[in-house]
């Protein structure tokens, strides 16, 4: 099913399920578990950081305001996220991710028009809400799969 064919409800169900699975998994693994590139703690910190951004951007969109977009490469922003949450335990980060997902879901359900742009930073290209939700879900799902694979080995 293409992104365009997915209904809002399907997109939200998929995102909610994927985030719940990720939060449950990451809450139980060692923070130093590695997928060969990053640690579980670092990836979970990034997920929390980006979810905070998504909530902030959607709040502005819902209020009819221009979102306060950030500058920097994804790599720089991810490094800042890892630094920001370096001292947070995995279980707290996982809980925060789940709470942020509830907020994100609520904001997404309030928006009547999913064809509007959902930028995440200054140099984001146009990406409507449905497309962005699918990208978020795919990223979290792929990261969770990679760490589940690493945990098995």
Q: Is residue 21 part of a domain?
A: yes
Q: Is residue 130 part of a domain?
A: yes
Q: Write the burial class of residue 21 (CB in 10 Å: 0-12 exposed, 13-18 middle, 19+ buried).
A: middle
Distance CA 118, CA 54 (A): 8
Q: Is residue 67 part of a domain?
A: yes
Q: Is residue 1 part of a domain?
A: no
Q: Is residue 33 part of a domain?
A: no
Region 54-67 average pLDDT: 95
Of 23, 27, 83, 28, nearest in space to 47 by CA: 23
pLDDT of residue 86: 97
pLDDT tens per residue across span 84-97 = 999 999 999 999 99
Indicate whether 103 pLDDT > 90: yes
Instruction: State the residue range of the domain holding 49.
Output: 8-28+38-152
Beta bridge partners of 117: 128
Q: Is residue 132 part of a domain?
A: yes
CA dihedral 130, 133, 138, 144 (to 10 degrees): -160
Q: Is residue 2 part of a domain?
A: no
Indicate whether 6 pLDDT > 90: no
Q: How confident is the model at residue 7 (pLDDT cuts 50, 70, 90)?
A: confident
Domain total for the chain? 1
Indicate whether 2 pLDDT > 50: no
Crossing angle of helices 8-26 and 40-62, rounded to 10°? 150
Q: Is residue 86 part of a domain?
A: yes
Here the tokens at position 116 are 């509007």
Beta bridge partners of 70: 121
Here the tokens at position 62 are 């819902």
Distance CA 15, CA 92 (A): 20
CATH number, domain of 52, equals 1.20.120
Find the DSSP H helices in the chain.
8-26, 40-62, 74-84, 90-110, 129-152
pLDDT of residue 1: 46
Please tell me which residue, 104 or 153, carries the higher pLDDT value: 104
Of 42, 54, 52, 55, nearest in space to 88 by CA: 42
Q: Which residue has the tokens 């800042």?
A: 80
């Amino acid at each position: 099913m293409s992104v365009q064919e997915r209904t809002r409800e399907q997109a939200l169900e998929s995102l909610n399920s994927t985030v719940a699975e990720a939060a449950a998994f990451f809450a139980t693994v060692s923070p130093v578990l590695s997928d060969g590139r990053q640690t579980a703690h670092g990836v979970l910190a990034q997920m929390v950081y980006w979810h905070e951004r998504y909530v902030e951007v959607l709040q502005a969109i819902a209020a009819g305001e221009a979102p306060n977009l950030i500058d920097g490469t994804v790599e720089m922003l991810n490094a800042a996220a890892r630094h920001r949450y370096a001292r947070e335990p995995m279980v707290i980060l996982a809980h925060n991710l789940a709470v942020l997902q509830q907020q994100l879901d609520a904001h997404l359900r309030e928006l009547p028009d999913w064809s509007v742009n959902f930028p995440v930073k200054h140099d984001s290209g146009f990406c409507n809400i449905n497309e962005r939700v699918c990208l978020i879900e795919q990223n979290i799902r792929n990261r969770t799969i990679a760490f589940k694979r690493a945990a098995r080995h």
